[in-house]
Amino acid sequence: MIHAWRLRATIAAMGLLLAVFIGRLFSLQILQGELYSNLADDNRFDRVSLPAPRGVIYDSNGSLLVRNLPAFNIYVTPALLPDSEAEIEAIYIKLADLTGVPLDQPGPPAAPCVGGRGIRQLVEEGATNRPFDAWPVACDIDETTARVLRQQQIDMPGVSVEAVPVREYPTGNLTSAVIGYLGPIPAAQVDFWESLGFLADRDKVGYGGVELNYQDILAGQNGLKLVEKDVAGSLLAEVGPGNSAVPGNNLKLTIDTRLQAITASALENRMEFLNRFAGEVRTTIGSVIAMNPQTGEILAMVSIPSYENNRLARFIPQYYFRQLSEDASRPLINHAISSEFPPGSSFKMVTAVGALNEGVIDPKQTLFDPGQITIQNAYFPNDPGQAKEFVCWKEDGHGQVDFIHGIAWSCNVYFYKIGGGFEDEVSGKGLGIDDLGVYARALGYGAPLGIDLPGEEDGLIPTEEWKRLNLGESWSTGDTYISAVGQGFVRGTPLQVLTSVSTIANGGRVMWPHVVQEVLDGEGNVVHRYEPCVLWDIADGILMEDTSEIAAGCDSLDPELRENIIAGHTVSPDITVAPGVLELAREGMRLVVEDEEGTANPYALLDGISSGGKTGTGEFCDETAFSRNLCVPGNWPTHSWYTAFAPYENPEIAVVAFVYNGGEGAVTAGPIVKQVIEAYFELKAIDAAR
């Protein structure tokens, strides 16, 4: 006989158990149903990224500088290989014969398409990790081999041939400093790029140049499709419409490839001549920039040494990248914007404009140049041994020198005196280091100009505080003297030197330098055009804290970048350079070329074209020069500079040439600029005649 309490207890236990099961079922299917449904879908479905075609790049005439070409890769899906070991071995042997990849070569795991392992090891690695994924065993094979393999795929289960886009740079190292190249996503940035929809083991991003700076515009947006897989990971079907990939936009540059080629040839030939004449490798670094001073458009930009970006297009060979990285001449650096050098006498235009505008000197007043002047030490005025001599490049001096001839003859003593003052000839401290800094920054020195290329350096315009903080020394009159002629602590990039002269040439407008002219869609329609942007105008007094007026018409610039450019150069809200000052400065630059004693005559005198220019011979003593015992006091090696604009009356091109350890500016750099400017007008005439 079963007691009633036992029956009730059993029923209660069963009811409790049933309630637990019902509660658990309610929790799983109702309360957490969506969660487990999503988990099941995650196991069942897979999101496949669809690569977006990257935009191409044209020069200003519509010639392709960058394009996408198909590269053929061979893949093996381990799970789809035959069951027979003999059949698998036959497939491996055939792949090795056709592709040249070793059949059996052990090696450590590496990135896809990196050599050093055999086909057997590559497939085993894939089988161990994701057997239903296709693993590359040979990359960038020729089209003929790809066609053969595609024909034989029916007899080679598990083997597939895919065409993937790769970059080709038709102009190679001619434009690599401007264009850059693509490379794999850096390991430290994987999370960032994957959050934007990129795949770390497939997609590439820009490294240097336009490829990097316009990455977002060129890359487009990857698409996405949903596929269904079985429990083993084998593809069953596509699910849903997915999101199509959005192709990247194309770019049209301001660069004229024809002028670029002539510019590169002019620089290379001059450097080779200099090395042959010296009987040794005297110089390995040089750069030339040609710009429209009215718009800021870069017409040509050459940096030597350069690199072959086609060798980096498919994958980056370790030996070649190491060779580039360890080269003391730094071929991966765009020397036109990323290297800082003493500008030498080309910087005298800053001193000239500042001193004349501040009333330090009257343009008709003459100062005497005896070839050298002596400055007494303020702390030891009666000790001749503490005095310091400052010499002119012309040992016997230029005699009486006025303003325009001070520029034309590049008279050091004249600029020492107006820059730092001298006895009764120039009262007080002359222009002084503070005002020298004001005008230097106003003309483009001392901070980046915001060119749409990565790696722009800011140069250096020293101040009394800078010297005290960095060297622990007080500023001296001698420091001002050598700064006034672009020596000492002063550093500038070729782009800054060019901008300073372009600003004087165009009447005082500091233009935003840029290499991209238009953004185009896939059908060639203009999506955006980068209009000329006046950063500020020194002739209109637009150097003020309220940057909205300065930035009018500069909508193409990122507002934060625009503010940073202006903040880096703005040092006074009151500066206004009188038009007459700029006219006299230009007149002095005209005489640099046309006066018989002008420093650029006859080396840079143009045939039938009026121009103005300024030579520069910058003394230096860096690590390379020191290691070669070239830093001899009183006879330091010199960089060669020349920058000019033409036509003189209405400039439409300005060019700067720089040659490392090139010697006298007029002799080495002058002919380069001459050749570039004359080529520009020849090309213009050819285009007009079409």
Give me the mean pLDDT over the 681-690 stretch.
93
Run of H or E including 192 = helix 190-195
- Are the C-beta atoms of 531 and 373 separated by less than 8 Å? no
Structure tokens at 157: 């289960």
Identify the pLDDT of residue 540: 77
pLDDT digits (tens, 9 = 90+) for 27-49: 667 766 666 666 555 555 566 67
Greater confidence (239 vs 182) lies with 182
One-letter amino acid at 432 equals G
Coil, strand or helix at 523: coil
pLDDT digits (tens, 9 = 90+) for 284-308: 999 999 999 999 999 999 999 999 9
pLDDT digits (tens, 9 = 90+) for 527-551: 999 999 888 889 876 554 444 444 5
pLDDT digits (tens, 9 = 90+) for 185-229: 888 998 998 888 888 878 899 999 999 999 999 999 988 877 666
One-letter amino acid at 56 equals V
Domain boundaries, the chain: 4-47
State the residue for tokens 């909508």: 555
Give me the mean pLDDT over the 111-136 stretch.
77
Question: Is the model's pLDDT at 677 over the cut of 80?
Answer: yes
pLDDT digits (tens, 9 = 90+) for 425-446: 998 899 999 999 999 999 999 9
Q: Across 84-93, 396-405, 619-628, which has the greatest mean pLDDT?
A: 396-405
Question: Is the model's pLDDT at 571 over the cut of 50?
Answer: no
pLDDT digits (tens, 9 = 90+) for 365-382: 999 999 999 886 554 454
Strand partners, 301: 289
pLDDT digits (tens, 9 = 90+) for 83-106: 888 888 888 888 888 888 888 888
**Lowest-confidence region among 22-26, 194-198, 395-399:** 22-26
Give me the mean pLDDT over the 405-426 stretch.
95
Length of the chain: 690
Rounded to the nearest angstrom, the gap between the alpha carbon of residue 97 and the centroid of all alpha carbons in its chain is 43
Identify the pLDDT of residue 407: 98
CA 664 vs CA 218, 238, 380, 617, 638: distances in Å: 43, 70, 36, 5, 7
Run of H or E including 499 = helix 494-505
**Lowest-confidence region among 19-28, 282-291, 413-422, 670-679:** 19-28
Give the whole-number percent of the chain exceeding pLDDT 70: 89
Greater confidence (136 vs 556) lies with 136
Question: Is the model's pLDDT at 597 over the cut of 50?
Answer: yes
Give the whole-number percent of the chain exceeding pLDDT 90: 56
Give me the mean pLDDT over the 161-169 stretch.
88
DSSP string covering 157-170: TTEEEEEEEEEE-T
Question: Is the model's pLDDT at 81 over the cut of 70?
Answer: yes
Bridge-based pairing state of the strands 57-58 and 250-253: parallel
